[in-house]
Amino acid sequence: MIKAIEEAKRQQSDLIVFSELATCGYPPRDFLEFKDFINEAEKSVKTIAEHCMGIAAIVGSPRINSIIAGKDLYNAAYFLEEGKIKQIVDKTLLPNYDIFDEYRYFEPNKNFQIVNFNGFKIALTICEDLWNLNDNPMYVTTPMDNLIKLEPDFVINIAASPFSKTQIEERRNILIGNAKKYQLPIFYINHIGAQTHLIFDGGSCVINKDGSIIDALKSFKEDQKSYTINKLSGIKIIADTDLVQTEISRNKYQDIEDALVLGIKQYFEKLGFSKAILGLSGGIDSALVTYLAERALGKENVWAILMPSQFSSNHSIDDSIKLATNLGIKHNTIPIEATFQSFMDTLNPYFEGTTFGLTEENLQSRTRGVLLMGLANKFGYILLNTSNKSELAVGYGTLYGDMCGGISVIGDLYKTEIFELCEYINRNEEIIPVNILTKEPSAELRPDQKDIDSLPEYAVLDKILYAYIEEREGPAQIEALGFNKELVKRILKMVNMNEWKRWQAPPVLRVSKKAFGPGRRLPISGKYLN
């Protein structure tokens, strides 16, 4: 941040703006309950202020509520100038839905004020403060209705708005709606980076008072730009029009790919790891995760392990080797038949009189999990999980087997979306072997096994799952969409009955509006639809 301030000084800027809770990251969660953590954030603000000579800065940071009753903290925007804290504006609307839990920690602002700077009156707002704009508002207070009475010249909104497949469009519509309603330009500054399961795309932009997007910063990359504001002529933009158009019209699959790459990259960097290991099965899920890992970490830091059993097809092995060769990553083959058989030899006295079934299938998966975790522990790798959202939803996975891993890379992508994303990745050249994309999905845990032996076609399954998980529709509403009543009942029951597995799954990189994890809070033992 200090480096960015120095760059802004070189550009002769008067004011530089950082995002919501920029000193500590978002969401800090229960770190906010540690006094030492808050003290460190406060020290960071004061250090930044020391560099604000000849320039002002707006910085998001938690602050202690030392005056009134209520929560111990505010989610604040500090206005820094002349080496000190000149003004503090607190967040009014504290989201408490999906992945957000701000009211757990923060007291809402009740004192509306304008920031006066260089002859301008700035309406300084924090993320959700602009989101109470629809016909059925969530909050009883709309901050801009109060701030507009103070006659501001423009709006600055500092945000920590996480990425999802729908969030970018929704966010722009909110910003455009505010600009039009209040007839004010808006400078929107959003986080870039990732925090465990949450990914922040940036998407910072400048909106004119007519609602037009007149400039945009890069998505999924740190970026910095300067603008000139004149009370008479408005905002002077020296914009790269090609970049603006590119950022406004980005492809959905490019966004998802870039988001997942950023999520992997930051997860490893923040934990102090650099190398990933994963099982490469010849299926589309592990192929996609391998590709994303290579993009995030570099080919020298990805290790793919092929673990064929007596049930593995030759083409699965060949397809895996071809993918690893295409990506230039290290790969080794460790057959599991002998290891699996040793487990069976140990268990046979107890399994006597039973037939080969799900237990033996799961034991193969757990054999692979043991081998992968052994290699990961020995050589300092993080195991990447390759389960998709369709599988996680219905429990089509093995705890301590294919559900092992430090981070679930594609656990928020349905199977149909994975096929679509892989086709997008292959749009210019065959990176993921075509045979992986065209063959019928199979776990290959018994002879001639296919996913459709246990599940409906993914095209049908995913639509039912989307209606239930993302749209929160009940069985009657889903049946009304044209799906078989018994099938709907069966699928929804599978989702609910496997909540216990998901509680033990690795954190899932979030790219949808309703991902498994902190944003979807259901009881394990609830009897609804069970």
Confidence of residue 449 (pLDDT cuts 50, 70, 90): low
Neighbours of 122 (CB within 10 A): 24
CATH architecture of 255-455+498-502: 3-Layer(aba) Sandwich (3.40)
Segment 399-403 shows an average pLDDT of 95
Segment 511-521 shows an average pLDDT of 96
- Residue 372 tokens read as 């992968």
Confidence of residue 242 (pLDDT cuts 50, 70, 90): low
Residues classed as catalytic? 20, 91, 127
pLDDT at residue 444, as a whole number: 66
Query: What whole-number distance in Å separates Cα of residue 393 and Cα of residue 475?
Result: 16
Inform me whether the pLDDT recorded for 338 exceeds 80: yes
The two beta strands, 302-306 and 192-195, are unpaired
Which sequence spans correspond to the domains of the chain?
2-250, 255-455+498-502
CATH architecture of 2-250: 4-Layer Sandwich (3.60)
Confidence of residue 158 (pLDDT cuts 50, 70, 90): very high
Using a pLDDT cut of 90, give the percent of the chain over it.
86
Over residues 101-140, the pLDDT tens digits come to 999 999 999 999 999 999 999 999 999 999 998 777 899 9
Query: What whole-number distance in Å separates Cα of residue 414 and Cα of residue 412?
Result: 7
Inform me whether the pLDDT recorded for 328 exceeds 70: yes
pTM of the model: 0.94
Q: What is the dihedral of CA 216, 220, 226, 232, to 10 degrees?
A: 30
**Residue whose tokens read 């005056």:** 67
Using a pLDDT cut of 70, give the percent of the chain over it.
95
N-term to C-term CA, the chain = 51
Inform me whether the pLDDT recorded for 143 exceeds 90: yes
Neighbours of 421 (CB within 10 A): 23
Which has the minimum average pLDDT: 19-23, 234-238, 410-414?
234-238
3-class DSSP string for 398-448: CCCCCCCCCEECCCCCCHHHHHHHHHHHCCCCCCCCHHHHHCCCCCCCCCC
- Residue 66 tokens read as 């030392």
CA angle 329, 331, 335 (to 5 degrees): 165
**Residue whose tokens read 């979030």:** 510
Q: Do domains 2-250 and 255-455+498-502 have the same CATH topology?
A: no
The H or E element spanning position 228 is strand 228-230
pLDDT at residue 136, as a whole number: 75
Over residues 450-465, the pLDDT tens digits come to 767 778 999 999 999 9
